Amino acid sequence: MLAGGNPAQDCFNLLGLSRKEYRFESEARNPSLDVSILHVLSKNRYLFSDVHDNRLMLALTRALPKEFRSTNIEMLSPEDEGRIEGCFRGENRWLLSTYCSDADADGIYRTHFMSSKGEVRYSDMTESQRICRCVGIILESIASSGGESDRGKNRNQEHDSVPVEQE
């Protein structure tokens, strides 16, 4: 499966349409933030004016490197994943054997439909682990920016600075 490298290209391939005639975007249309960042933001509701205020989320989505916009840990426990997989196993296997008969249906099923072992899971993380993951992402993002924000610091400092009271 995924002959073209992504689901849209694969769908065109299965329909017999030439991928060369169409332009496929490589960036996700609806990028998300890492769940650890969302967790920390949810604990700091004062950062948002109301439930519909997404300005900070949009700014973070633009500012964070690509690997932190779509990287997420597994949200469900292995037990929950297994229970869900079991409910749909018969139907999923039928779909694979019917529509992917020339492919390795068992391999596809194991790779894409069964839970992976050894992955970090949100349900297993403590509060401090979630916060540390978020801080690590922010620090790595700052480091990877190569000090881009420092260039305009002196220019903006007089407008953005807050007077500090002397002790």
Q: pLDDT value at position 135? A: 92
Find tokens 């039928």 and name the residue: 94
DSSP string, 63-88: HS-HHHHH---B-S-HHHHHHHHHHH
Sole residue written with tokens 């973070």: 60
Q: Is 77 helix (H, G, I), strand (E, B) or coil?
A: coil
Interval 26-83: pLDDT, tens = 665 667 788 888 889 889 989 999 989 989 988 888 888 877 776 566 777 888 888 9
pTM of the entire structure?
A: 0.55
**How many whole angstroms separate alpha carbon 101 and alpha carbon 96?**
7
pLDDT digits (tens, 9 = 90+) for 129-151: 989 989 998 898 888 877 554 44
Single-letter amino acid code for the residue at 155: R
Report the C-alpha gap between 113 and 34 in whole angstroms: 22
What pLDDT does 128 receive? 93
Write the burial class of residue 41 (CB in 10 Å: 0-12 exposed, 13-18 middle, 19+ buried): middle
pLDDT of residue 19: 67
Which among 18, 5, 61, 17 has a CA at the least distance from the CA of 38?
61
- Summarised one tens digit per residue, pLDDT across range 13-30 is 777 777 677 777 766 566
What are 81-103's pLDDT values in tens digits? 889 999 999 999 998 888 877 77
Q: Where are the beta strands (DSSP E) in the chain?
A: none
Q: How far is CA 93 from the centre of its chain?
A: 27
Tokens of 39: 């967790």
Residues 133 and 34 sit within 8 Å (Cβ to Cβ): yes
Q: Are 102 and 65 in contact (CB under 8 A)?
A: no
